[in-house]
Amino acid sequence: MKSITLKGRKVVPGRAKGEAVVSAEPISFIGGVDPLTGVVTEPGHPLEGVCLAGKVLVYPTGKGSTGGSYRIYDMAVHRTGPVAFVQLQSEPIATIGAIMGDMPVVDGLDRNPLEVIATGDTVEVDADRGLVIVTPKEGSPGIGAAGQGEKKCF
């Protein structure tokens, strides 16, 4: 399948590549994600039970208290967190956690990533250049299948 390139703003520098997990809902990393497994635990969240470890998390923005920054860092250290964030709009809590955890972050893209990226697509984040390169998975409708992530961690 042909790849799609989105252009946006570098929030946290770096490069990463992985399978996308897409959520149309904000995520709280403090109390909403198990830091030991990377599984979303927030009751009722569209990604409840989905593993974020090693994935590129595509979501609107973070939510929750300042402890979420340390939780993101903790997940990075233990390799249970996402490898990168693609956000509609970054916010300080997730950004600080991403800085500490050396996770690239891009936001302000020229197309809504929630409408362009589907869970399971391969996503390469080149935050240094503000680019997100999306390769739809085979058989994917190619347009945002938010909230339909894999249930297992590696």
Q: Tens digits of per-residue pLDDT, 100-118?
A: 999 999 999 999 999 999 9
Regarding pTM above 0.75, the answer is: yes
pLDDT band with cut points at 50, 70 and 90 for residue 153: low
pLDDT band with cut points at 50, 70 and 90 for residue 154: low
Residue 90: active-site member: no
Domain CATH code at residue 53: 3.50.30.10
**Assigned domain for 125 exists:** yes
More confident residue, 63 or 86: 86
**Assigned domain for 120 exists:** yes
**Assigned domain for 143 exists:** no
The secondary structure of the chain, three-state, reads CCCEEEECEEEECCEEEEEEEECCCCEECCCCECCCCCEECCCCCCCCCCECCCCEEEECCEECCCHHHHHHHHHHHCCCCCCEEEECCCCHHHHHHHHHHCCCEEECCCCCHHHHCCCCCEEEEEHHHCEEEEECCCCCCCCCCCCCCCCCCC
**Please, what is the average pLDDT of the chain?**
91
Q: Of 23, 28, 65, 140, which one is the catalytic site residue?
A: 65
**Assigned domain for 147 exists:** no
Whether pLDDT at 97 is above 60? yes
pLDDT band with cut points at 50, 70 and 90 for residue 76: very high
pLDDT band with cut points at 50, 70 and 90 for residue 140: low
**Assigned domain for 35 exists:** yes
Task: Name the residue range of residue 76's domain.
Answer: 4-41+48-135
**Assigned domain for 153 exists:** no
Counted domains in the chain: 1
